Amino acid sequence: ASGAVVMVSGQSDVKTGDIVLGSVSSKGGETGSVMLSTGNSEAASVGSIVLTAGSTASRDHAGGDVSISSGFGHEGGSVSVSAAGSLNLDGASVVVTSTASDNASGDVTLRSGAADDNSGSVSLSSGNGNVAGDVSVAGGMSTGGAGAGVAIKSGDSSSGNAGSVSVSSGAG
């Protein structure tokens, strides 16, 4: 096995130092990219890339955040999260979930950003295939009260007709 490369900030009783990986700014040209990548393998499993914020044992403080955002520009950059296909097995899954908690678990929100002109759409769909996958929307089960509801609502408008709600089955 080849040797490891380890970058750590020093230990402290107050606050440890930051670690910053970045390319420098440019006044007239393009800036460089920052890439995190594991090596390829021809005969064995490859390593993973793990981004994890630290935890705290204090009940008065929050754990660290993980923030992934694209850059601002004439056209904003995209954020893409995708799982890879497979040579001879099922493709990998993409899972977005909030963590369980002793109190209330976190919310999961999918929405497009606000805009002065047209805001983006939000689309939930399964891919095409010999047998296409289902799209399921369900409220959670409750052990101490009413089960969770499912609400589908069209948008309001301050200058025209409100949006419509359309439910239809596919053609056979």
Contact 49, 60 (CB under 8 A): no
The token pair that represents 63 in the structure block:
């754990």
For 76, residues 6+ apart whose C-beta sits below 8 A from its C-beta are 70
| Per-residue DSSP letter, 60 | T
Would you state the pLDDT for residue 34? Answer: 87
Q: What pLDDT is attached to residue 62? A: 87
For the whole model, what pTM was predicted? Answer: 0.63
Rounded to whole angstroms, the Cα distance separating 145 from 139 reads 13
* Pair of tokens at residue 81: 């999260």
Instruction: Please state the length of the chain.
Output: 172
Average pLDDT, consecutive stretches of 10 residues, N- to C-terminus, the chain (172 residues):
81 86 88 86 85 86 86 83 80 83 82 84 85 88 89 89 87 79
CB 154 within 8 A of CB 164: yes
